[in-house]
């Protein structure tokens, strides 16, 4: 309730706010409380019910709301819940805007007077989204698709969109349920059933989302979960169309390889989908995406959109090539990751050490997020964690031997006093 009230203060008490939630059991309770806070702060509220995060963001802009609130804990376990704020243009709140909300939460301002209390109504916003997404979109072939929504918010969208496009859909975990049949993060250990079913049913592709469907991952027709960086590269090549593509500092070089093949260029930002969205807006990019499966299609909107991502994957398959063939044609690099423990007081000193090391290596250095040094053979990224006492090292090389050598050398230099 206090959070709803804080948002109304942020919007200066006269805002229109769209509220939605995913399928978590605590969603309705949180929604009631949040709406109560918004109303007592003088806001007009539209309740969208269970919707994917991208639908909430999309409808916030389309209905000319001042803000949107999505009640979800995304890919986290079902017992978790949280909120994510969206601006009137359908973009995630920036860290600065979130800080402002937190600052207001610390205060205890008066609620509005009785004659200024807001009102709420319900609206089904799904048809608005369906209409926009399907406009001008068609497939030439009839695909067999296995869809696993993790019983999350995508259950109400992705299977229906695909059927609308003539696909034969086999749905797993695709009825809304706060007691999901699998872990909500679309990672290998949670997708065994999907991979198995794709193979058994001779499907063309398997699609999975996280709990709030701002992410999408794929399984190829051979039942292999597609490497996330390679999948990102395929979509970036298709959607980039020779223009600008935005991705994060930790994404594989395979993205550049694929995008540059079509004459496009890649811009890298800090990790986090809001950073990708901001860069997409600033550079008028054709596409933006993170390797976790959060993909932004600026031609429609600036929110990462899992269901739309699923449609784009099918459009790519429409060329007639199998997904496994397209994936296997991309270059194979080796990515290695390691965390080293480091107290927050020592982080600066360790980063300085790496800055010196990076300079000596003579590559191209970027300090957008941590320090990243790019060399002909590959790249090294060293990032201090913002929340935990550790530093993350990522190395990608065209050859495994090179990557191992660089990782070992980096760890040695950073851990030697
Ligand atoms: Mg999510």
Average pLDDT, the chain: 96
pLDDT tens figures, 326-369: 999 999 999 999 999 999 999 999 999 999 999 999 999 999 99
pLDDT tens figures, 115-145: 999 999 999 999 999 999 999 999 999 999 9
CB 217 within 8 A of CB 237: no
CB 342 within 8 A of CB 351: no
What sign does the dihedral 162-170-147-205 (CA atoms) show?
negative
Instruction: For residue 209, report the distance from its CA to the centre of ligand 1, in Å.
Output: 8
pLDDT tens figures, 48-98: 999 999 999 999 999 999 999 999 999 999 999 999 999 999 999 999 999
The DSSP bridge partners found for residue 296 are 288
87's enclosing H/E stretch is strand 83-87
d(CA 241, CA 259): 8
pLDDT, residue 14, reads: 75
d(CA 151, CA 158): 12
Q: pTM of the entire structure?
A: 0.95
Which of the two residues, 12 and 73, has the higher pLDDT score?
A: 73
Residue 254 confidence class, pLDDT cut points 50, 70, 90: very high
d(CA 41, CA 19): 15
Domains and CATH numbers, the chain: 2-123 (3.40.120.10), 136-328 (3.40.120.10), 334-415 (3.30.310.50)
Please report which residue ranges of 204-322 form alpha helices under DSSP H. Answer: 228-240, 254-261, 273-283, 306-317
Instruction: For residue 121, report the distance from its CA to the centre of ligand 1, in Å.
Output: 26
| 74 counts as catalytic | yes
In 280-375, the DSSP E strands lie at 287-289, 295-296, 334-341, 364-366, 371-375
Q: Which of the following is catalytic: 8, 14, 33, 74?
A: 74
The DSSP bridge partners found for residue 265 are 244
Instruction: For residue 201, report the distance from its CA to the centre of ligand 1, in Å.
Output: 28
Instruction: For residue 210, report the distance from its CA to the centre of ligand 1, in Å.
Output: 6
Token pair for residue 149? 């929504």
pLDDT, residue 244, reads: 98
The DSSP bridge partners found for residue 248 are 269
Instruction: For residue 293, report the distance from its CA to the centre of ligand 1, in Å.
Output: 9
221-258 core/surface letters (b: 16 or more CB in 10 A; e: else): bebbbbbbbbbbbbbbbbbbeebbbbbbbbbbbbbbeb
CB 369 within 8 A of CB 384: no
């Amino acid at each position: 309730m206090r959070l709803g009230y804080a948002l109304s203060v942020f919007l200066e008490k006269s805002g229109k706010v769209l509220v939605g939630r995913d399928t978590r059991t605590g969603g309705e309770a949180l929604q009631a409380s949040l709406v109560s806070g918004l109303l007592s702060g003088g806001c007009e509220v539209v309740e969208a019910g269970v919707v994917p995060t991208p639908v909430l963001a999309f409808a916030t802009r389309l209905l000319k709301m001042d803000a949107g609130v999505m009640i979800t804990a995304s890919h986290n376990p079902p017992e978790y819940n949280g909120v994510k704020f969206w601006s009137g243009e359908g973009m995630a709140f920036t860290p600065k805007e979130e800080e402002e909300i937190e600052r207001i939460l610390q205060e205890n301002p008066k609620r509005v007077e009785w004659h200024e209390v807001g009102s709420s109504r319900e609206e089904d916003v799904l048809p608005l989204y369906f209409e926009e997404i399907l406009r001008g979109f068609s497939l030439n072939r009839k695909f067999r698709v296995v869809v696993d929504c993790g019983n999350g918010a995508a259950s109400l969208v992705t299977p229906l969109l695909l059927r609308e496009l003539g696909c034969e859909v086999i749905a797993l975990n695709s009825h809304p349920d706060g007691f999901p049949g699998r872990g909500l993060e679309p990672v290998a250990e949670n997708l065994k059933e999907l991979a198995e079913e794709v193979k058994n049913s001779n499907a063309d592709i398997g699609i999975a989302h996280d709990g709030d469907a701002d992410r999408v991952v794929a399984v190829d027709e051979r039942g292999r979960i597609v490497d996330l960086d390679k999948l990102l590269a395929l979509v970036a090549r298709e959607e980039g169309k020779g223009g600008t593509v935005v991705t994060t500092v930790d994404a594989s070089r395979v993205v550049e390889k694929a995008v540059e093949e079509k004459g496009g260029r890649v811009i890298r930002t800090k990790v986090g989908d809001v950073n990708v969205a901001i860069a997409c807006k600033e550079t008028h990019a054709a596409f933006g995406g993170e390797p976790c499966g959060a993909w932004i299609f600026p031609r429609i909107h600036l929110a990462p959109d899992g269901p739309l991502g699923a449609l784009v994957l099918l459009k790519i398959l429409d060329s007639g090539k199998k997904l496994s063939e397209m994936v296997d044609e991309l270059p194979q690099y080796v990515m290695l990751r390691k965390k080293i423990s480091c107290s927050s007081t020592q982080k600066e000193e360790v980063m300085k050490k790496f800055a010196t090391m990076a300079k000596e290596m003579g590559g191209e250095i970027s300090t957008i997020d941590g320090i990243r040094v790019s060399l002909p053979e590959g790249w090294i990224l060293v990032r201090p964690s913002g929340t935990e006492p550790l530093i993350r090292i990522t190395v990608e090389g065209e050859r495994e031997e090179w990557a191992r050598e660089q990782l070992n050398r980096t760890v040695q230099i950073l851990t030697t006093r």
